[in-house]
Amino acid sequence: MTWTGFYIGANAGYAAGNANPTMIGSITGAPFFLPANTGPVPSLSPRGFIGGGQAGYNWQTGQWVFGGEVDFSGLDAKADAAVSPFFMNKPNVTTWSSRYDWLFTARVRGGFLVAPNWLLYLTGGLAVTHVKDSVICTATGNGCYDFGPGGVTVSWSDSTTLAGGTVGGGLEAMFAPNWTARVEYLYAKFKDTTPGIVSFPASPPAPFPPLFSFHHDLNLVRFAINYKFGP
């Protein structure tokens, strides 16, 4: 058996991450929000399925195997949380949500053959994902702001593609001359997002800075099977 050669395959697994929001601005004294304290910001832990395909190349020298791999996967990891009330003066419900849609990685791999057909490896490189974060305050009256008509929402939202880094490792077995199977763990870290205000009952009297930021990282555990071309 040789590990050298091009390969393609498919993967599926589970994603568990964080998208915890943080208050980065203050509403105290703002003329268009409630001049009062806010409630605690909740934690968000998106969970869901990940699945897709990968392609790469391995080069074997003795008991060492090196190579590179790219993969693209659909990702259905999301979380929601609500605080009632969040703006403390009047009745309201404020909902936070975060969703990951897909994941792309381009990584180098390097490992050691603990047996001729068993590879223990480390991997790391680029990770890119798409996220959508939102904060929505709803109230029957003007419980989300300090003036204007009631029964409307105030919302912040951001839908963007984030680039970051990933590291991890796995164990791969060559169970036939051209077939391998593996279990792999990856950790991916991305930059924070700061959703801007997208819905307000009236034009703010001044440019409105972001109130919230969202932290983003993912933990992935996935299984994969590959077909290697050549001998």
CB atoms within 10 A of CB 4: 15
- List, in sequence order, every beta strand (DSSP E) within the chain: 5-18, 21-23, 47-61, 64-83, 93-115, 118-138, 153-176, 179-193, 196-199, 212-228
Nearest-10 Cα torsion for 192, 222, 44, 141:
100
**Residues of the chain predicted below pLDDT 50:** none
CA proximity to 218, closest of 109, 121, 134, 105: 105
pLDDT at 103: 97
pLDDT at 72: 97
pLDDT at 146: 67
- Domains of the chain, by residue range, sit at 5-228
Q: Identity (one letter) of the amino acid at 63?
A: Q
CA dist list (Å): 127 to 91, 161, 186, 191, 228 = 41, 11, 10, 11, 24
What is the longest distance spanned by two Cα atoms in the chain? Answer: 74
Two structure tokens written together for 82 = 């609500």
pLDDT at 207: 59
Q: State the number of CA atoms in the 13 A half-sphere of 21 facing the CB.
A: 31
Q: Each residue of 10-61: pLDDT tens digit?
A: 999 999 999 999 988 766 555 556 556 788 889 999 999 999 999 999 999 9
The model's pTM is 0.88
Can you give the three-state secondary structure of 37-67, one letter per residue?
CECCCCCCCCEEEEEEEEEEEEEEECCEEEE
CATH topology for 5-228? Porin (2.40.160)
pLDDT at 193: 92
Relative to beta strand 93-115, strand 64-83 is antiparallel
Please give the Cα distance from 162 to 208 (Å, whole number): 24
